Amino acid sequence: MAKFSVIIPARNEIYLQKTIDDLLAKATGDVEVIAVLDGYWPVPELKEDPRLIVIHRDKQGMRASINAGMDISRGKYVMKLDAHCILAPGYDKALQEDFEDDWVVIPRRYSLEMDTWDIRYHRPFVDYEYLGYPLHNRLVHKSKTGIHAYVWDKRIEDRADQLIDENMTFQGSCWVVNKGYYLKRVGELHNEGYGTFIGEPQEVGLKYWLGGGKCMVNKKTWYSHLWKGTPYREEYKNRFGVAYTRMSFTELKEGNKFSADFWMNDRWIERIHDLRWLIERFSPVPTWEGV
């Protein structure tokens, strides 16, 4: 197996150490974990491990943190992972066995329970997501704006037997790339227009699809992402003294507006496909009927 790097952008994270412990314990090959501490120090400090690299700098945001981790990563494959996740045993081997250089790959996603630090088995897993039409006329997950990812229940059911399959888009808490191809196709994530946080999976996923690559789901392995319900938000406020948030409402609104305009109007000059090509490839796509 090739070397496998995991970048964890982290700001005021409660479960960063548990996430790192899980990554290191369940890897079967040569893995390095790069924790990018965005304007804070964990208390207690992170445990030392020869496979762990820690970057600490002034607060710059998630997009810049991903770029910083990518710059120093030494793996052929690089995973971006949120700082509150667990993974399947042997995740690194399973992902490498089914991987093409021009793919961005997402494992099956489960929801993670804070108290048990295990999969919330009563909640359905997620294999596929679709891009919602901006400003569509009905609510989807309580949102009517932005070009966001939404769980695609029908595709999950219809394509249950496809273990490695095309996926229109993804949530952003975990994705894996071949570093060399990523640097050629994406380069780095930009703050201009998006802000420091918004639109990371849309920028990565659409640059792959519209640039000639693919976004894929690998159902042979999985990760579980923390459910940030009321107990987590209360714990966060108790620990850090502020409500859980990653950006201001203004940044959220402006970033969503920019992302929708950029991709809907085919403003990426390096594209070889327009967005309409992607919609037709996955047609019928919910919220795009009649558009």
Give the residue extent of every domain in the chain.
4-281
CB 176 within 8 A of CB 78: yes
> Which residues fall within 8 angstroms of residue 81, CB to CB, at 6 or more apart?
6, 7, 8, 19, 23, 87, 173, 174, 223
Q: Under CATH, to which class is 4-281 assigned?
A: alpha beta
- Over its length of 291 residues, how does the chain's per-residue pLDDT go in tens digits? 899 999 999 999 999 999 999 999 999 999 999 999 999 999 999 999 999 999 999 999 999 999 999 999 999 999 999 999 999 999 999 999 999 999 999 999 999 999 999 999 999 999 999 998 886 555 444 455 678 899 999 999 999 999 999 999 999 999 999 999 999 999 999 999 999 998 999 999 999 999 999 999 999 999 999 988 898 999 999 999 999 888 888 888 888 889 999 999 999 999 999 999 999 999 999 989 877
Looking at residue 291, its pLDDT comes to: 79
274, 27, 281: which is closest to 165 by C-alpha?
Answer: 281
Strands 4-10 and 77-81: parallel
Amino acid at 189: L
Q: Tell me what pLDDT residue 248 has.
A: 84
Evaluate whether 73 touches 4 at the Cβ level (below 8 Å): no
